[in-house]
Structures are given as structure tokens and as C-alpha cells.
Amino acid sequence: MTTLATEANRSSPSNILLLLGLATSLPSIAMGSSIPDFIRDATLMLIAVGVIWCVATPDGREQNRSLMFWPILLVLLGVLPSLFNSTDLQASQETLGFLPIGFVLFIGICIADGAGRTVIAIAATTSILLIALEVTIQHLSSNGSVADTPHPIHIMILPMLLPIAVIGIETLPRKLALLVGPLLVPLVVFSVITSWSPGAWAGLIIVGIGLSIWRGGVVRASIGCGFILAMLLVAIDVADAQNRLLSLADPMSDERIGLWLAAMAMFLEHPFTGIGAGAFGIAYPDVVSMIQLPDGYEAGSGFIPWAHNMYLELLAEYGLPGFLAYAIITAWLLGKLVAQIVLGQGRGRGDDPDDPRHWAVALLISWLAILTMAMLDLSFHRHWVVYIYWLMVGLSFSIVLHRSQTSPARGTPQSPTIP
């Protein structure tokens, strides 16, 4: 396997700058408010400068461009109608303002190719380790009380990035990997469980099942130990745990029901343009007061910024054009990843962490977790969600580009075509 250091030595200054941006931007985004804004902006700027430099000096990568740009054009065409018909233009501009960063990130990952995937895998390992440590320290410092333990809103990053972090661990020196691996998974499991986030729970279940089937061995044992450790620590405050579980089991006490009904009403009123990106929270109080709610149900009142369901949020704010744009890109990539797993060369559990089939399995698990969590809490109002989405699109496209440039029969380079 070609090491990252070897790749860096053979890279041009533009590629090194791009890789540096990819390596630093993910931890800075993942840590949220813990990182000063100017540092986060600087890391994103590195990616932008690196992409511009690489495009200006393509170094034989021209063949990738035809396949790279159609997702960007599709999303732009999908969101423009909602921008022109927005009920709050300023909110829409603020919500869509981070979208170009996602586009640049996507292009940068495609350009960086295998070296970029390796950098992101290691960055994912670093990011979720930092978040999990932060959450664990917060929990222990609050004397183990579940109710009093604060947790970062970006806790759902942990199940999203865990499959990618598994590849990142495999790229580390063996002794370091043996240290990080058994430590990381239990910390992630404990952090997610004690966050009491239903969305994060759902994502963790999907990832836990996927990793256990895919990797087995140490990863499976680590997941099992993580669940046992988390349950033991949660048992310190059984009353809080019971109250939370009972509240989750009662849909009539869940504010999401009112949010979902309001979002559907917004979509039905503006099916082709939506109410405008970022306008859900502004329209919600008026809409929820006019719709029919289940008997005995009391919807949340006041400003609630998002629908706690990404699918309904897209329909409500962007209408059918925006929803279909994201749905087409995501569904196409999922189909390509499944095809890589089923038909691609390699075993998918080989010794090379950068094996495309190996990556396809990890990305598919992450995508399934993201799509599951999107039903409960994810929102494009959060910049880190936009970042992670286009990070996943970029990683998935880099696998598609790799497969499209290789002949299945002889392994010879070919120009990619859009199926």
C-alpha cells in the first residue's frame, strides 16, 4: 500500500495545499463552537485555494471534470426556484450561503482522489475521537447524571463518520491502530447513548450492525464492549434513563409530530417552489396554528428553526425540484456503491484500506446511517450537515471516478462516462 507520506512526496504544491485543507477542515467543522470561527474559515479557504490551483494546473485530471459538475448544476437548478419564491429572502440567502463551500469540498475530494480519501479517513478518526472525549468528560464531570449532561448538537457526526474512521485506523501504524481502535468505538457508543438523541441512536444501530457484519473481529468486539460499558455507566442514574425512554415511547409528547404535519402543509401549499430555504421556522407558528392536529396533542409553539426531518424539510422549503435534486444524486451514488461492492474487483476486506470496494462498503454504511438519522433530526440549516453531505458525495464520487477509469476486463484506464 502506498503510504500517505509517499503520496505527499510525489504531490505538487497545489495538491499538498488541498490535502492540508481536507485534513484540517473536518476536525474544525466537527468540533463546532469549540473551534474559533477564523480557524474554521482558514481551513476552508485552504481547500478553495487548493481547488483553484489544481484546476489552473490540471496535471492530467481533465477527464474527471465532465462527471464532477453535474451534481452541482442539478442542485443549483433545484434550489433556485425556492430562492426566487422565498417568504424570507434573507433567511434563504443565509441558509444557502454555505452551499458553495460544499461544492468546493466535493470538487476538492474528487481531485485529490486516493490521497484525499486517506487524509479524510484519518481526519474522521481524529474528529470523532475528539468529540467522543469531549462528551465523555462532560458526562463524568456532571457526576454521571444523564439529565444534567450537556452534549454537542453535532453528536450525530459520530455514527456518520465511524465507518470512515475504521478505514482511517487501518492506515495508522499498527501499534497506534491497536491503541486507537479499542478506545474509539466504546467512546463513540457511550457518547451517543448518553446524549439521548433518538437520531444518533438510530444511526448508531445502523452503523453497529453494518460494521459487525463487514469487519467482525476486533471491531465487533469493540462494539460489544462499548455497548456494555455504556449501559453500565448509564445505569448510574437509572431514574433519568427510565424517564427518557418513557418519553421517547410516547408519540403524543414528541414535538416532531407537529413539525412534520406543518412541513407537509407547507409543501402542499407550495409544491413546486417551497416556502424558501431557511424559512421553515418563520412560517411554522402561523402554519401549525391552522392545521388539524391529533386529539390531545399539543404542538410546540414559537420559533423552531427546522422540521426535524430532512425529507419533509426539503419538500417544505425547496419543493419538488430541490427534493428531487438531492434524491437523484444520493440514489445514484447508492446504486454505484452497491454495484462497486457486488461487481467491483477486490474482496472488500482486503489488506489495502484504499481498495475501492473496501471504501464502498464503509461509505454505504455511513450513507444508510445518514439517511436514517435524516428522518429524525438532520437539517441543512446546520453548516456541518451541508459539509458532511458534500464530503460523502465527494468520497462516493471519487470511488465512481476510480471505477469509471478502469476497465473491468483488463484494468486499463478509460475515460469516464455518465451512465
- The per-residue DSSP string of 217-286 comes to HHHHHHHHHHHHHHHHHHGGGHHHHHHHHHHHT-GGG-THHHHHHHHHHHHHHSTTT-S-TT-HHHHHHH
Give the residue from 375, 26, 391 showing the smallest Cα distance to 201: 375
Which ranges of 344-382 would DSSP assign to H, the alpha helix?
Answer: 356-373
Which pLDDT belongs to residue 113?
83
Listed by start position, the domains of the chain span 68-100+114-252+321-404
Q: What percent of the chain has pLDDT over 70?
A: 76
Rounded to 10 deg, the angle between the 157-171 and 198-214 helix axes is 30
Is the pLDDT score of 11 beyond 90? no
pLDDT band at 221 (very low <50, low <70, confident <90, very high): low
One DSSP character per residue, 83-149 reads HHT-S-HHHHHHHHTTHHHHHHHHHHHHHHHHHHHHHHHHHHHHHHHHHHHHHHHHHHHTTT-TTT-
User: Of the ranges 120-134, 232-246, 326-340, 371-385, which one carries the lowest mean pLDDT score?
Assistant: 232-246
pLDDT in tens, 87-113: 899 999 999 999 999 999 999 998 888
